Amino acid sequence: MAGAFFSLCVAGTHSGVGKTTVALGLMAALRERGLVVQPFKCGPDYIDAGHHGGICGRASRNLDSWMMGENGVRESYARAVQDADGALVEGVMGLFDGASPTSSAGSTAHIAELLELPVLLVIDARGMARSIAAMAQGYAAFMPALKFAGVIANNVGSSRHARILADALTAAGGPPLLGALPRDKHWELPERHLGLIAAPERNVRKEWFRDLGHGLADHLDIDGLLQASRSLRPAARPLQAKDRGRVRLGIARDAAFHFYYEDNLDLLRGLGAELVEFSPLADAALPEKLDGLYLGGGFPEMFARQLQDNTAMRHAIAAFARQGGNIFAECGGFMYLCRSLTDAVGKEWRMCGLFETATRMHSRRVRLGYVRAATVADGPFGPANTMLRGHEFHWSSLVEDKRKWNPVFEVRDAEGGNPRAAGIRQGNIWASYIHLHFASNPQACRSWLSHLGETQG
C-alpha cells in the first residue's frame, strides 16, 4: 500500500454542479500517482459507476442507505476497500437530497455520516463572490455530524475570482477552498435521457481521462485533499461462497444490457451461483447448461436494430423459455422480452416475443423513484408478499393495458402511498421495470437460487 488509507465523498449543492467531473478527474489524478482507488456511487445510478470502473480498473459499488439499509452500506464499503489505498465516493443529486424531504435516508449526507467520510463540496461559483461563504456555511451547519474537507468552486472566471472566493471562505471560518476549476467544455461528458452516455457505449479514450486528471490536478490541492481525508480502514467480513457452481445463471451483459448492482452479483456468487455472461447483441446462442437467465437493464432502445437482427439469440431465449427455463428481467431486459419495442422516432423493432405486448419510448420520463415491492404470488423469491426494495427510472411503457397481465409486484413509493401493480408474471418468467437491490432482502436471493436448482434439477 502507498501511504495512509484515505476516504473522501465528492458531493454537490445540487445536480449538474460538476461533481461527476470532479470525481472522475480526482480518480484519474490519484491513479496517476499510483494509488489503488476503490470507487463508489451514492444512490441507484449505474452510468456514473461504469465510468468509475473505466478509470480505476475495478468495479464501482453503489451505496444506498434506503435500499441497502445502514448495515448493508457499511458491509459493502468495508469489503470493497480491503485491497485499496483509499475510497472515493461520488454523491447523488444535492448533498441532502434522498428518498424523503424530511430525513436523510438515501442521501449522500447519510452515506457520509454512516461511513465517517470527509465531504468535498462542489459549488457552482459562476457569478458568485462572498455568497460562496454563506452557501458553504449553510451546508456545513445543516447536519453538524458531517465533516467537511473543503470546497471545490466550479466555473470560476479567473485567478482573481478564485482569490475572492478563497478569501470569502477563510474570513467566514468555513471549509477551505481546495480547488477552483475554470470553465472548460472539454471536461464535459455528453448526456441523453437517462443521464451520461454509458461507458460501454462511449468508449472514452484513456487519454481523455488522463487529460481530465491532469487538468483538475492543476487546479486542485491534491496533497491537501489527501491530508484532509486520512482515515482508518474498516474491518470487513468477507462473503464466503458455499456450494460454488451449484447453479449456473446466465447474465446478459453488453452495451445494451449492463445495469447491475455489483453487490447483487457478489451476493449471488457468495451464495454459490456461477455467473456466465453472454451478449444478446453479439452471441448467436446461450451458454450451455444454464439453470436460469438474468436480464438486467440498459439501453435496448439504442440498439434495437442489432437486437432485432440477432434472430438467433432471440430464438434461443424464446426456446429456453418454452423448455421451462427460468428468466428474471429488469427494465431494459423486460423490454427485450416483449413482442416489440418502438423507439423515440416511432420505428418498431421485433424483440423476443415472450410476452404478447409491446413497449414504446416516450419523449418524457414515465417513472422515477424508489419503490417497496411485494411479490403478488409464490415464486422464485419466496412466498407471496415477499418484500424487496428497488428503484425505477424509465422512459418507456407497455403499449397494452397492463391490467390484463398477471403482475409480479404490488408496489408503493418510498413514502408509502397507494399501491399499484407492476410487471408481468408468466410461467417461469418474471419481469418488471424495477431494479431490485437484494441487500434489502438477502433471503429472497437465496430463495431464487434454491428455486433455480430445484426446477432445473
3-state helix vs strand vs coil in the chain, percent to 5: 35, 30, 35
Segment 123-137, tens digit of pLDDT: 999 999 999 999 999
Tell me which residue of 90, 92, 118 sits closest to 7, measured CA to CA.
Answer: 118
Which domains does the chain possess? 6-228 (3.40.50.300), 247-455 (3.40.50.880)
State how far the Cα of 136 lies from the Cα of 168, in Å rounded to an integer. 10
Q: How confident is the model at residue 99 (pLDDT cuts 50, 70, 90)?
A: confident
Q: pLDDT value at position 46?
A: 86
Residue 457: pLDDT over 70: no
Catalytic residue among 42, 56, 331, 445: 331
Cell match 465523498: residue?
9
The whole-model pTM stands at 0.90
Q: Model confidence over 378-427: pLDDT tens digits? A: 999 999 999 999 999 999 999 987 667 899 999 999 888 899 999 999 99
Helix or strand (DSSP H, E) at 440: none
Confidence of residue 243 (pLDDT cuts 50, 70, 90): low
- The amino acid at residue 175 is P
- Residues, the chain: 457
CB 215 within 8 A of CB 180: no
| Active-site residue, 56 included | no
Three-state secondary structure call for residue 182:
strand
Instruction: Determine the 3-state secondary structure of 282 from DSSP.
Output: coil
